[in-house]
Structure 1
Amino acid sequence: MGRKKQNKLNDIYHKISHYLVKKYDIICMENLDIKEMFKNKDISSSLQKIGLYKLVNMIKYKCKWYGKKLVQISRWFPSSKNCSKCGYYYKNLKDNQKEWICPSCKTKHDRDVNTAKKYS
């Protein structure tokens, strides 16, 4: 990759990380095993192009600079399966299922929003 293209990408990563850290007091992200992901031939070239590792590191150090909270959740923790209202663990949630209703308290959840509420 040429220097000019790399500089443009770095500028984009700095702008994205700055925007996120300035806008939110708490940033939650899954603690991905990026090195392991690079072993997957189907996605490794895409990961290299987007520089996910670099972006995550920029978010980390900018959170420290601005006194923001960064929460990294284990990739093995089933956060989207835990009801953010009552704590019920919904073990039957499928990977492709975007929404679910808690059998215990009847709260309707979007899996991503539910996970974010759990850690905010």
Structure 2
Amino acid sequence: MVHHMPIEEIHAPDQESFVGWLRASLGGYAAERIKYGITSSGVGSDFSTAAVMAHRMVWGMGMGKSGFIGNYSAINKNERSTAITDMLEREAQELLREQLVEVEKLLKDNWKIVERFTA
């Protein structure tokens, strides 16, 4: 099990905090892929957390690469262009993929430590 535990109370998390939480949510999935080459159903809850967080970051907090500012989740789907919706969805998925790459690198670089905790 992988989870995040802030060192101090955070009242208004910043982008760096959200990225850290994303990475923590992707840790179990990445570790299973590295160790076993496959994943289990155990990653489902972590994926839900990561997907919701990436969506909120991109759609609602202006933390995507497109530069869109505003809470697009608050806009009715029928009032949003398909192009904007597609772009925001791609950005959320890209954010998840980028963080997965970082998590996999971190785990591989520190695999001996990971093995100590999973033995």
Please identify which structure carries the higher helix content. Answer: 2
State the TM-score, normalized to the length of structure 1.
0.31
> Larger relative contact order (C-alpha < 8 A, sep ≥ 6)?
2
More strand by share: 1
Greater Rg over alpha carbons, structure: 1
